[in-house]
Structure 1
Amino acid sequence: MNEVPFSTVFALALRGEQTHVVRVGDEPVALPVGEWTQPADVNDHRMLDLCIGPTLDVGCGPGRMTAELANRGHVVLGIDVVHEAVGQTRERGGAAMLRDVFDELPGEGRWESALLADGNVGIGGDPVALLHRLSNVIDPRGRVVVEVARPGVLASTHWAALQTGEQRSRPFKWSVVGVDSIEATAAEAGLAVASVERIGERRWVAVLQGAV
């Protein structure tokens, strides 16, 4: 099977192709794209209630969160490394740009909130580096709103790939951070946990702010 760029397979997923996350030694797990392409649901709304002021949606995907924040009257920008994701976000009425979070971003140091939904704290396979980066992107009085895994899930970093049909992406590093490890992870990044909330039956969200 030929390996192709991550963005190629993720774009196919966003267009409706059934896609799985493949990890060595594990059974493939379906990528929940259907949840991401629906309008924001009641639990998404509860997460978005934690965002204040101008918000950067990191790894915005097809843009349901970006679009809903815009509907609420927020200044909001979605960023993603996949053209299809940026295009779909714009089609939903949200502002979005093709950009890696570690590249130069508009408004650095002035965003009041940065949002990491749908497990996006795993981007790049280094949560400490990601959160430290966002600590410099937000205003010193701002916050990072980050979705984390449920209690009991150990922090981990692994190699994974996306597969749809006969196409598989090149391996990429991804991390998981749970409720039990977010405090230590945030502290390494120079942030502190202001609150942790359970949203619905299976989602947990932490609000991080500058360490005192």
Structure 2
Amino acid sequence: MRTTVPPWAAAGSYAAALHAGRGPLFLRRDDGWLLPLEVERWCARPDAVDLEVLDRCEGAVLDVGCGPGRLVSELAARGRITLGIDVSDAAVAHTVRTGGRALRRSVFDPLPGEGRWDTVLLMDGNLGIGGDPDALLERLARLLRPGGLLIAETAPVDVDERAWVQVVDDAVTGAHTAGESFPWARLGTPALLRYARGWEQAGQWSAGGRCFVALRTRRASSNAEPPKSTALISSHLPR
């Protein structure tokens, strides 16, 4: 199965930044506003803030927009059942090289273990995926088991924004763009909680200048069982 790859994900500047482990790389809105992308942190080992998040994970973990896979690889090293998904070939390859399991998929594609994941991670600004928080939260609820846990990183400011953006590697001129514009969103904690209708709040915290929200799907009777073995996940990986 082949997912539709957005132009930025296949562009050389994004892949080159992941390969080098550093930027500069930015999201640029149509009005010229720039959001720096933290490539160095993404490509490094998990920091203390990341480790606190991972300590809160339950059972089998799906990392949506796993990037170069620092969290997936750390969970795998702990012996946890975990899978990363990302639309970038470079990100998936980096994750696999560092010991994690990953698939090149969009979160809106069919995925292994749908309705049976214990935890879904949505870190590093990935609340922005698709530019439609309602659609994204609805999709994540379908991936989790009843009572499953979503841990989402929110913007450290009170913002509720949807915009068309490009990935660029030149903050001055924007000359080296990494593809066409695509829809994105930025949500602070208050905005995410407004969108999280039908979810149960399970906590919120800040650490190291970053903000997080934990939500649970509504508990309901279900015959679905959470993933219990690596074999279940590996059976869905491409050969």
Question: Is TM > 0.5 for Structure 1 vs Structure 2?
Answer: yes
> Counterparts of 1:42 and 1:174 in 2: how far apart (Å)?
28
> Counterparts of 1:163 and 1:15 in 2: how far apart (Å)?
16
Measured at CA, do residues 156 and 191 of structure 1 come closer, stay the same or move farther in structure 2, by a change above 3 Å? Answer: same
- Retained in 2: the 8 A contact 1:63–1:89? yes
- Alpha-carbon shift at residue 121 of structure 1 (Å): 0.9
AA matched with 1:170: E
1:170 counterpart residue number: 180
How high is the sequence identity, in percent, across the aligned residues? Answer: 39
2:224 counterpart residue number: none
- Alpha-carbon shift at residue 29 of structure 1 (Å): 3.6
CA distances 1:64-87 after superposition (whole Å, capped 9, x unpaired): 011111112210000000000000
Gaps of 5+ in 1: none
1:209 counterpart residue number: 216
> Counterparts of 1:30 and 1:203 in 2: how far apart (Å)?
15
CA distances 1:82-135 after superposition (whole Å, capped 9, x unpaired): 000000000110000111110100011110000001011111101111111010
- Retained in 2: the 8 A contact 1:46–1:199? no
> Counterparts of 1:113 and 1:30 in 2: how far apart (Å)?
28
> Counterparts of 2:205 and 2:36 in 1: how far apart (Å)?
26
CA distances 1:1-36 after superposition (whole Å, capped 9, x unpaired): xxx921114222212353222112234343210110
1:14 equivalent to 2:18? Answer yes
- Alpha-carbon shift at residue 167 of structure 1 (Å): 3.0
1:185 equivalent to 2:195? Answer yes
> Counterparts of 2:121 and 2:108 in 1: how far apart (Å)?
15
1:87 counterpart residue number: 93
CA distances 1:140-192 after superposition (whole Å, capped 9, x unpaired): 12111101122x422111111011354312101111111111211111xx322
> Counterparts of 2:36 and 2:204 in 1: how far apart (Å)?
27
> Counterparts of 1:204 and 1:30 in 2: how far apart (Å)?
17
AA matched with 2:207: I
2:138 counterpart residue number: 132
AA matched with 2:176: Q
AA matched with 1:12: A
- Retained in 1: the 8 A contact 2:146–2:218? no
Q: How many residues align?
A: 205
> Counterparts of 1:156 and 1:28 in 2: how far apart (Å)?
14
1:33 counterpart residue number: 39
Question: Which TM-score applies when normalising by structure 2?
Answer: 0.81
